[in-house]
Structure 1
Amino acid sequence: MADKANAHPGAAGRAAAADHPASIRNVVLVGHSGAGKTTLVDALALTAGAVNRAGRVEDGGSLSDYDEIEHRQQRSVQLSLVPLNWNSIRINVLDTPGYADFVGELRAGLRAADAALFVVSAADGVDGATRLVWEECAAVGMPRAIVITHLDAARADFDEMTALCQRVFGGDDPDAVIPLYLPLEGRRRADGSAPVTGLVGLLTQRLFDYSSGSRTEREPGEEHTGLIAEARNRLIEGIIAQSEDETLMERYLGGEECDVKTLVQDLEKAVARGVFHPVLAAAPAADGGRQGLGTVELLELVTGGFPTPEEREIPEVTTPLGAPRPRLSCDPAGPLAAEVVKTSSDPYVGRVSLVRVFSGTLRPDETVHVSGHGLEGRDPEDRSLHELDERIGALSAPFGKQQRALDKAIAGDLACVAKLSRAETGDTLSAKDDPLLMEPWVMPDPLLPVAIQAHSKADEDKLSQGLARLVAEDPTMRLEQNPDTHQLVLWCLGEAHMDVALERLRTRYGVQVDTVPHKVSLRETFAAPATGRGRHVKQSGGHGQFAICEITVEPLPGGSGIEFVDKVVGGAVPRQFIPSVEKGVRAQAAKGVAAGSPLVDVRVTLSDGKAHSVDSSDAAFQTAGALALRECANQAGVHLLEPVAELRIVVADDYVGAVMSDLSGRRGRVVGTEQAADGSTLVRALIPEIELSRYAVDLRSMSHGTGRFSRTYARHEPMPQQLAAKILEEEGSTTNGR
């Protein structure tokens, strides 16, 4: 690690294909929006020699955030891969968006990585969403370290932020979250901020000075002695507590001086096992300097302390039809098993897939088998959707907007694959004669509905293909063609997610769409029994139309559907036309009788009618049946039924009161609460779906990012009279306007 004696900056060049998994590190950056992740990536790239100045490549573009949407919105919206080389180690840095709407990109980064760097701003602290991600990483034993940024902000305090991280991330063992270095402050400015000019290594007791823009090493002064002693002892005790050498603690307590080399080795092992989480400080280079503060130390931590792909367990694999297979190892000579972790489109190259190779070796221009999830419920022989062989194009490593060719991608590495035209995010690539399927990673359900329509006829022609590509790229987006409301609905994670999706539709695929108010699937039912007569009699020369029928309609309990009963006596309606009446009644019920929503939960009884020996027909009695049903609706009145969803909301205990109050304001009914994970509560409630259109956004706001929910359809229930009257009035005015 960087605290090793005589650590030196590597003369790193640009990304090149790795030759062995032991020379690869895959690390994902996690943190809230504005914490400084992208700035840190640029600083690391500058220190590693991948760019010439301040995160810029030769053509002047940024190495990490180069998407036009990111430039316009001034924030990361997608997962970015930045390959670096440091001391002959290939480091695949995965920069993730910090905004909650793009958590799908974050989860893809977690899937592709073997360790995580949590970036925490000294100015803003730790948000709830970052805490949840830490818990997810802890659950699977992913190694983690913490990087504190923005230490030059007013009132920023490294000691206070370290103590906060110990409380938030340390859990039952705060001594597992300890700094490796202490920052040294320069002269304080008028606004109360102070630049950080150097770091003191606690193990080697060396001072690393960054004030000149390059890292220099020297002995600390006497004024630093007191600063080092207490922090160093605590660090040593924390390392020894996690050491696999059980005698080390006894020797240390007995007064034996621990060898620095031994401590560093134990530290690296503890970090790689995910039981010790070092805290570091980092900042971009001042005045265009080559090395940002703490970047050398961070690169040394990644290469020395984070695990190789060989040390991480590969996700389980099966055959595409679910038959078990032995767990694979990270072996370049093993069976090919790779996974598409991200899909994007390039206007010149076409579809580009970011792939993590878990086993085997991927080479350009070879044919691979593409397997995806979604075979359940389909004919096993129907493999048209996610079961196919496909020839891959070129392999490359990204370098800003450029792609640099690779001759192979071995187990443990990441690469971009061109021309996988039918592979989607989450699909498995394997040998065509040995197809495999990797278990999927958990993705959040999109819960914000956005109803859209084509802006023009030209857009309508391209809409279907554009939306299909958009959804294939982003598994956190879902497309629905609602059969009841006839709306095209794009389900997103939040408003920012929606904005990016619609902008990509416009800029990438040339499709302009308009958003319209989202409608829920209402139902209609009768308020009371009624009798009606349908009369369809027309004479216009030649064959006429003659059909008369009388029906009685009675409301039924919820969930009964529509019953049709024949009680005609004496042949008043000929037997061959009774099915025609039923067909007309059911067709009208499907279209609705008041607000254009399907009619349900009624019994329709055909009691009488009249026919003509020449002019009666199937079509005439269908029309008469529909007319009779509409007349009954006018007599009895109609109740509107709205869909009700069952919500399961998990929220931090601090916000349960706010959530309960909000549910009450949405006409929700809480049906139970129970303790969930530490410090959180599960709230179960029934709430009308019409009140949930923005709940994904509102819950995040009221719970400070800690709340999450799932929803399932429960049933339809009568809508309050005043709301129903408003909808019926709007429907009436719309109909009259036509």
Structure 2
Amino acid sequence: MIGRHPAPTLVEIAIEPKSKADQQKLGAVLAKLAAEDPSFRFSTDAESGQTIIKGTDELHLDTKIDILKRTYKVEANIGTPQVAYLERISRPVTVEYTHKRRLGPKGEFASVKIVAEPLPPGSGFEFVNGIVGGAVPKEYIPGVEKGLDSVLSSGVLAGFPVVDLKVSLVDGKYHDVDSSELAFEIAARMALREALQMGGATLFEPIMKVEVLAPQDCAAWVIRDLGSRHAHMQEQTQQDDMVAVSALAPLAAMLGYHNTVPAIGQGRVTFTMQFHHYAPVSLPDEPPPFRPAIGMRA
């Protein structure tokens, strides 16, 4: 039997409850919505403390926000939609990191050597314990894994999740008195952050397949508009008195498109938009995109 995987979460919105009562209701309501819909997720931004809701597209999240407000009477400030970018390294790197600190009569010591390698798209994260001969005692390995996991949710390039990564623990050192699971957690965390900085981190964005059906008198406008959104035209066909346009476009450029289309041709233009693949973001002169928690609207 083939398992059914939830659609990728491509859009994020930050929300802030307006009152303490709203705050108390929010967590339980979001948990209920997530249990009912595997494609809907939520988390807390570590820096801002804001709640981040995540879905497949703008309409998906708009529906959840409407349920929050109308059904459960949760009042909240709603952020502007942000694209859920990903970060990947582009080349293998080897890093050695030693965590050493003196705290009163006892210190902290842990040393790790890791190899970080990019994996094919869709591979997720893989950890390999390559320690032989007890260079890192087995009771400290969970600390190493915890330290690595703590980095994956926020990459070094723009703070987006790190994916398609293999990390091998190949060597290390410990101290009979000063080493601990926490010390190895800290060492692994710092080693991986250094590896991401050295590994040619690249930002990836979701590319969408957009299909628009428009009357002939609106077709030229549709094509020009898609071109202004950096879309790559795939196909244009005639269907009776309608024109079907197919294109691939970055999701960031398509945000708000569902509000634009109804104004074209008095409602005679329709479209569908589905995730197609991830591709590297071209950032010639622009800084990385803002984190999703930035920017609220009432």
1:387 aligned partner: none
Contact 1:484 / 1:521 at 8 angstroms: preserved in 2?
no
Q: Does 1:535 align with 2:123?
A: no
C-alpha contact (below 8 Å) 1:645/1:711 kept by paired residues: yes
- In 2, Cα distance between equivalents of 1:505 and 1:556: 42
Query: Counterpart of 1:458?
Result: 21
The alpha carbon displacement at 1:680 in A equals 1.9
How far, CA to CA, are the matches of 1:598 and 1:714 in structure 2?
A: 19
Residue matched to 2:36: none
Name the structure, 1 or 2, with higher relative contact order (CA <8 Å, separation 6+): 2
Mean alpha-carbon deviation: is it higher for 552-561 or for 479-488?
A: 479-488
1:650-697 superposed Cα distances (whole Å, 9 cap, x missing partner): 222322222222222212222233344x32233222222212220001
Q: What is the rounded CA distance, in whole Å, between the counterparts of 2:74 and 2:148 in structure 1?
A: 41
- Unpaired stretches in structure 2, ≥5 consecutive residues: 5-10, 34-38, 46-50
State whether residues 533 and 628 of structure 1, in contact with CA within 8 Å, keep that contact through their aligned partners in structure 2: yes
Q: Normalising to structure 1: TM-score of the pair? A: 0.32
The answer as to 2:105 corresponding to 1:564 is: no
Tell which deviates more after alignment, 693-702 or 562-571. Answer: 562-571
CA deviation string 1:470-496 (max 9, x = no partner): x9xxxxxxx944459752369776xxx
Query: Do structure 1's residue 726 and structure 2's residue 288 form an aligned pair?
Result: yes
Against the structure 1 CA distance between its residues 636 and 543, is the aligned structure 2 distance closer, same or farther, given a 3 Å change threshold?
same
CA distance in 2, matches of 1:625, 1:608: 12
Deviation at 1:505, TM superposition (A): 3.8
Partner SS for 1:704: helix
Q: Within 5 Å, give how 1:592-671 maps onto structure 2.
A: 592-671=155-234
Superimposed CA distance per residue, residues 43-76 of structure 1 (whole angstroms, 9 cap, x where no aligned partner)? xxxxxxxxxxxxxxxxxxxxxxxxxxxxxxxxxx
| Displacement after TM superposition at 1:718 (Å) | 0.9
Judge conservation of contact 2:111–2:174 (CA < 8 Å) in 1: yes
Match 1:708 to one of 260, 267, 270:
270
- How many corresponding residue pairs? 270
Aligned-partner Cα distance in 1 for 2:28–2:134: 55
Residue 488 in structure 1 maps to residue 58 in structure 2: no
| Structure-2 change in CA distance of 1:489 and 1:598 (3 Å) | closer
Structure 1 649/602 Cα, relative in aligned 2: closer, same or farther at 3 Å? same
Change (3 A) 1:530 1:724: farther
The residue type equivalent to 1:555 in the other structure is P
SS at match of 2:126: strand
Give the CA RMSD over aligned residues. Answer: 3.8
- Closer/same/farther in 2, CA of residues 637 and 456 from structure 1, 3 Å limit: farther
Partner SS, residue 592 of structure 1: coil
User: C-alpha distance in 1, partners of 2:260/2:267?
Assistant: 10
**Identical positions, percent:** 33
Distance in 1 (CA, whole Å) between partners of 2:12 and 2:145 is: 36
1:546: how far off?
A: 1.8
**Shift of residue 714 of structure 1?**
2.1
Unaligned runs of 5+ in 1: 1-376, 378-447, 472-478
Q: Is the 8 A contact 2:157 2:288 kept in 1?
A: no
What are the Cα deviations for residues 376-396 of structure 1, in whole angstroms up to 9, with x where unaligned? x8xxxxxxxxxxxxxxxxxxx
1:510 CA displacement:
5.8
CA distance in 2 between counterparts of 1:724 and 1:554 reads 27
Deviations 1:159-195 (CA, angstroms, capped at 9, x unpaired): xxxxxxxxxxxxxxxxxxxxxxxxxxxxxxxxxxxxx
For the structure 1 residues 703 and 624, does the alpha-carbon distance in structure 2 shift closer, same or farther, using more than 3 Å as the test? farther
Q: Cα–Cα, structure 1 residues 609 and 707, in superposed 2: closer, same or farther, change >3 Å?
A: same
Q: How does 1:127-166 map to 2 (within 5 A)?
A: none
In structure 1, what is the Cα distance between the partners aligned to 2:29 and 2:134?
A: 57
1:696 equivalent to 2:258? Answer yes
Matched AA of 2:98? R
Partner of 1:524: 87
